[in-house]
Amino acid sequence: MKKILALLISVLLFLLASCKKDRNNYDLDSSALPPNMSYFQLLKPNGQYLSLVEMDSLKLFYINEDGERQYQNPMEGLDHPQHLFKPSASNPNDIFLDNQGVVLALYVNGRGVVHNTWYFEQMDGRIDTLYVESEKVHSKEADNNSCGCVNPFTVVRLNGKDASIHPNLRSVLGKNIYVLKP
């Protein structure tokens, strides 16, 4: 019995040492890092950004396994029926972004890829396709990337067209704002 117990303790110590070694080598503790907050400036076909009324009516959804539109995210505790917020809802100092047609989508790859393809439902019924890819980086790299997060975006497209990063606007926290042109 003592030999079995000693063997089990040895295996447990080995496993713990291996986990610690992996953690030190990869340092992927994403719980210590903020989620990737997705700021989007969605432009109209004429190049103007959305009004406050249009922003309030804008909805973001994905298609679930049953082929149905999913407007709420079951993975998060902060559900919002449209997945979208005005930037000032997250940080009152970002109120200037509200007036620039910028929306905040906390659920788009915030803590990793759950869905790559999302859809914006416009007030007039038009639907635009948002495609987003992100990569998981080590926490040391996260300090140096533009989002300061563990899941920076690598691809952002609207209706198949690459998004650009706004040259002048940033959130108060320094987050990029992706300009989406239909």
Confidence of residue 33 (pLDDT cuts 50, 70, 90): low
**Model confidence over 115-140: pLDDT tens digits?**
689 899 988 899 999 998 887 776 66
21 lies in the same domain as 95: no
89 near 102, Cβ under 8 Å?
no
Give the pLDDT confidence score for residue 48 in this predicted structure: 93
pLDDT over threshold 70, residue 103: yes
Same-domain status, 18 and 60: no
Question: In this model, does residue 22 exceed pLDDT 50?
Answer: no
For the segment 55-78, what is each residue's pLDDT rounded down to a tens digit? 888 888 888 889 988 876 544 444
Residues 92 and 65 in one domain: yes
Mean pLDDT (the chain, rounded): 75
Residues 24 and 41 in one domain: no
Question: Domain check: are 89 and 75 in the same one?
Answer: yes
What's the number of domains the chain is made of? 2
Q: For 143, what's the count of Cα atoms within 13 Å in the CB-facing half-sphere?
A: 6
Do both 137 and 75 map to the same domain?
yes
Q: Are 23 and 76 contained in the same domain?
A: no
Q: Among positive and negative, which fits the CA dihedral 126, 170, 99, 114? A: positive
> How far is the C-alpha of 53 from the C-alpha of 181, rounded, in Å?
19
Structure tokens that stand for 36 in this block: 């990737």
Q: Say if residue 80 is in the same domain as residue 24.
A: no
Both 8 and 81 in one domain: the answer is: no
Residues 86 and 100 in one domain: yes
Domain that holds residue 172: 33-180
pTM, entire model: 0.73
Together in a domain, 26 and 93: no
Domain shared by 2 and 40, yes or no: no
